[in-house]
Amino acid sequence: MSRARVAVLISGRGSNMAALIEAAKDPAYPAEIVLVLSNIADAGGLDIAQAAGIETAVIAHAPFGKDREAHERMIDARLRQSGVHIVALAGYMRVLTPYLVETWAGRMINIHPSLLPAFPGLHTHQRALEAGVAKHGCTVHLVTTGVDEGPILGQAEVEVLPGDDEDRLGARVLEQEHKLYARCLADLVGALGD
């Protein structure tokens, strides 16, 4: 059976990307990571991907100034060059325009560090602590034009413990992110059935 060809888009350390690469080392996993693409030239995750023998690309956003769509056209061309079927955003910290979102509708997923629809946006762990929630966690969802709004593919819950701070809570959520993302990507490949 041929495996789905997945590109992972990152802007930073790439621990979720690394978890997907790890999952895909199992030949029975239904996806392979064929490209890691970053908008940041020195994103730490690029080194991890290269060490794993995965093709990487950097398409910096700065040269495009305010023309976000022109940046995304370059990204799209690179994804097609690698014959990608599915795009997984993993700490890709750019808001996408409708151009890229609609081009990859149903085939672009994102991981977010909260139980959406609670706490979209940034600083989710701090905001969860301030809100005094008992349960926090992470979400994998299809990407739509509304930020952190697409249909939810899966969630993992984490209990907020007495004495938690942003780092401790964030670390426990991240551990769950790594498992959830690999599972949801495999489920999506199964649901797409191609």
174 binds ligand GAR (CB under 6 A): yes
- β-partners of residue 163 are none
Containing 9, the helix (H) or strand (E) segment is strand 4-10
Among 5, 15, 74, 103, binds ligand GAR (CB under 6 A): 15
Q: How far is the CB of 10 from ligand GAR (least distance, A)?
A: 6
The sign of the CA dihedral 68, 75, 155, 152 is: positive
Q: Which stretch binds ligand GAR (CB under 6 A): 10-18, 29-37, 68-76, 159-167?
A: 10-18
Half-sphere exposure (Cβ direction) of 86: Cα atoms closer than 13 Å: 27
- Of the candidates 71, 85, 112, 125, the residue annotated as catalytic is 112
Among 71, 85, 107, 112, binds ligand GAR (CB under 6 A): 112
Question: Does the annotation count 112 as an active-site position?
Answer: yes
Q: Which stretch binds ligand GAR (CB under 6 A): 6-14, 20-28, 47-55, 65-73?
A: 6-14
* Residue choice 79, 101, 142, 177 for contact with ligand GAR (CB under 6 A): 177
Q: How many residues bind ligand GAR (CB under 6 A)?
A: 14
Is residue 7 within the footprint of ligand GAR (CB under 6 A)? no
Residues 6+ apart with CB under 8 A from 133: 118, 160
Q: Candidates 3, 5, 12, 175: give the one binding ligand GAR (CB under 6 A).
A: 12
- Residue whose Cβ sits closest to ligand GAR: 91
Q: Which two tokens stand for residue 118?
A: 């609670």
The footprint of ligand GAR on residues 88-107 (CB under 6 A) is: 90-91
Which contiguous run of DSSP H or E holds residue 49? helix 44-51
> Contact 173/137 with Cβ under 8 angstroms?
yes
Measured CA to CA, the distance from residue 190 to residue 31 in angstroms comes to 10
What CA–CA distance (Å, rounded) separates 58 from 92? 12
Which residue's CB is nearer to ligand GAR, number 21 or number 34? 21
